[in-house]
Structure 1
Amino acid sequence: MTATIRIDDIAIGGGRHLRVNQTGTPGRPALLFLHGSGPGVTAASNWREVLEGLGDTFHCIAPDILGFGDSSHPDPQPQGFTAQAEVRIEALLDLVDALGLEKVVLVGNSMGGMYSLRIAQLRPEIVDRIVLMGSGGMPGLAPSPGLIKLITYFDDPTVEAMADLLLEFVHDKSAFGARVEEVAAERMPIVRRPWIEAGHRAMFAPEMLGFSPDELAEIGMPTLVVHGRQDVIVPLECSHYLAEHLPRADLYVMNECGHWTQIEQAARFQAILRDFVMAEN
């Protein structure tokens, strides 16, 4: 049975709000889904199928992270990846408190994975488990050609360039290609908001958010590290690094899959996520 998505703007203080997609019943295990970066990205575009598929068992929560989609945006924009992360993570923690969540399972894709690790450092008492999907976080990792294409999108912010970029996120381009122009067109109204470009340009800088082996060793929650073998945005070696140094991590590599495991291998991803969350510690 497909769960119905509820959409709300939730106040987080300071006159700000986050646009939040939810399925399932509060009081069930809470899964907080954190999307990745990219022009025009929203929680709904990243997580719709997962929210609909898991709402029968869990309380699923997927916000547009601060500065993305229909959430508030920082003004002025913090400069640099780490500075942007600080204000966005603060907003996410405010959301957890606003919703009255005592424990959450963090499910982070790409940038959202890095934010999940940082939340686990800052507020370990609220984190039950972590799922990292194509996550960054390996210090000194050079940007891949696919990531560079994402970073430089606003040098040529057209529908055609968006469609070309979206194909970088999946391995089976023939399966996704039939609707890539439709998805690209859906993103363009958001892309054209001036604060979206401003935030994108402010975010990407030479310094990125990285975690040393010692820092990872202190994150003691059960962690599932998932990566598509054919991911050209974040290389597989990053997940090998995270799984090696997180003390309670399992690594799951999906073949014939790119950066969007939750979209390209939706049923498989939902199955392993369901099993991981319901397993005994």
Structure 2
Amino acid sequence: MRPVELHVTRAAGPAERTLLVIHGGPDWDHSYLLDPLRELAGEVRVLWPDLRGCGRSPGGLPPGAYTPDAAVGDLLALLGSLGDGPVDVLGFSYGGLLAQRLALAAPERVRRLVIASSTVLPVPGDAFDGWPERAERRAAEARVWADPTLDGPELTRSAAFAGAPANVWRAAALAEYRARLARVRFTAEWLGPFRAGTLPPALPERAADRLAALGLPTLLLHGRQDMVFPAELAREAAARIPTARAAILDEAGHMAHVDQPGPWLTAVRAHLA
């Protein structure tokens, strides 16, 4: 599928030390990941692209154009415009699944990999059994998704705000997180194929075994109270990938970089050193 020219926000740094940041959603944009990563400016050249159909990148593509492989193709084209050297890749949530696909498709382009608030292993159906607080915190978002009066970007935006108490663990971090959400340019380009059941799975098949075979230095960075992807899966994946290490942050939910920005950035910086 033909690549799409992406909107990219950049922080200056040495070209030989480039970090590609892949956002999640996918109908969000990159802006909620600017902090604390922009503190790396000067040490590392950081690139925050908006995926196809997201944020300021082109949308209006046919429904079949929104697939994980198409998004990875765009990112590889972006890397190709930078030269032939390897880069570091950080994928967050859904972006973490795309980061795995990118590494498997072009391992020579990846120096180090960070899979943040995501998973390498399939999530079991009973992964969150016995955690009633999760059900309570996620109830408001579930009601938004079930609301027949909402659609398009209004739906994705409303769901993000309703899901804030589930995605951020510390109450003290909620106001700052909601301020970030207010700056996100939400779209709904990926929502159509998702609802139609035509969006292919983003998690690669046998991802752990295939990543283990690559031997890429990999950081599995996670919040202990993540209500989207269980933190325990990061530990299990690290045990199966010899070159991977799991860093589980206490008092942090799915948006671990908001709950614990200092420790989160310290873990990223140490891994990229």
TM superposition score category, shorter chain reference: 0.7 to 0.9
RMSD: 3.2
Question: Which deviates further from its counterpart, 135-144 or 109-118?
Answer: 135-144
Q: 1:126 to 1:176 in 2, by over 3 A?
A: same
Instruction: Kindly indicate whether the alpha-carbon contact (under 8 Å) linking 1:216 and 1:242 is maintained by their aligned counterparts in 2.
Output: no
1:57: how far off? Answer: 0.5
**Whole-angstrom CA distance in 2 between matches of 1:106 and 1:55:** 15
Instruction: Kindly indicate whether the alpha-carbon contact (under 8 Å) linking 1:128 and 1:221 is maintained by their aligned counterparts in 2.
Output: yes
Is 1:43 matched with 2:30?
A: yes
Instruction: Kindly indicate whether the alpha-carbon contact (under 8 Å) linking 1:22 and 1:51 is maintained by their aligned counterparts in 2.
Output: no
**Whole-angstrom CA distance in 2 between matches of 1:232 and 1:217:** 26
- Per the alignment, in what secondary structure is the counterpart of residue 112 of structure 2? strand
- Per the alignment, in what secondary structure is the counterpart of residue 218 of structure 1? helix
**1:233 alignment partner, one of 200, 203, 228:** 228
Aligned residue for 1:178? 175
Aligned residue for 2:57? 71
**Whole-angstrom CA distance in 2 between matches of 1:158 and 1:66:** 16
**Whole-angstrom CA distance in 1 between matches of 2:220 and 2:18:** 19
1:271: how far off? Answer: 1.5
Question: Structure 1, unaligned stretches of length 5 or more?
Answer: 1-12
Is 1:163 matched with 2:161?
A: yes
Residue identity in the other structure for 1:265: Q
**Whole-angstrom CA distance in 2 between matches of 1:65 and 1:266:** 24
1:85: how far off? Answer: 0.4
Instruction: Kindly indicate whether the alpha-carbon contact (under 8 Å) linking 2:3 and 2:74 is maintained by their aligned counterparts in 1.
Output: no
Aligned residue for 2:77? 94
Residue identity in the other structure for 1:122: A
1:247: how far off? Answer: 2.0
Deviations 1:136-193 (A, max 9, x none): 2313533866599479737442866442212221101x22333555444444xx44x5
Q: 1:119 to 1:181 in 2, by over 3 A?
A: closer
Alignment of 1:1-281 (within 5 A): 16-39=4-27, 41-45=28-32, 47-73=33-59, 75-78=61-64, 84-100=67-83, 102-139=85-122, 141-142=124-125, 146=138, 149=141, 153=145, 155=147, 156=150, 157=155, 161-172=159-170, 174-179=171-176, 182-187=179-184, 190-191=185-186, 193=187, 195=189, 197-198=191-192, 201=195, 207=201, 209-212=203-206, 213-278=208-273
Deviations 1:79-100 (A, max 9, x none): 8xxx710110011101111222
- Per the alignment, in what secondary structure is the counterpart of residue 195 of structure 1? coil
Q: 1:271 to 1:62 in 2, by over 3 A?
A: same
**Whole-angstrom CA distance in 2 between matches of 1:159 and 1:86:** 25
TM-score by length of 2: 0.81
Instruction: Kindly indicate whether the alpha-carbon contact (under 8 Å) linking 1:29 and 1:58 is maintained by their aligned counterparts in 2.
Output: yes
Question: Structure 2, unaligned stretches of length 5 or more?
Answer: 129-134
**Whole-angstrom CA distance in 2 between matches of 1:114 and 1:70:** 22
**Whole-angstrom CA distance in 2 between matches of 1:74 and 1:114:** 23
Residue identity in the other structure for 2:203: L
Q: 1:160 to 1:112 in 2, by over 3 A?
A: closer
TM-score by length of 1: 0.79
Q: 1:112 to 1:148 in 2, by over 3 A?
A: farther
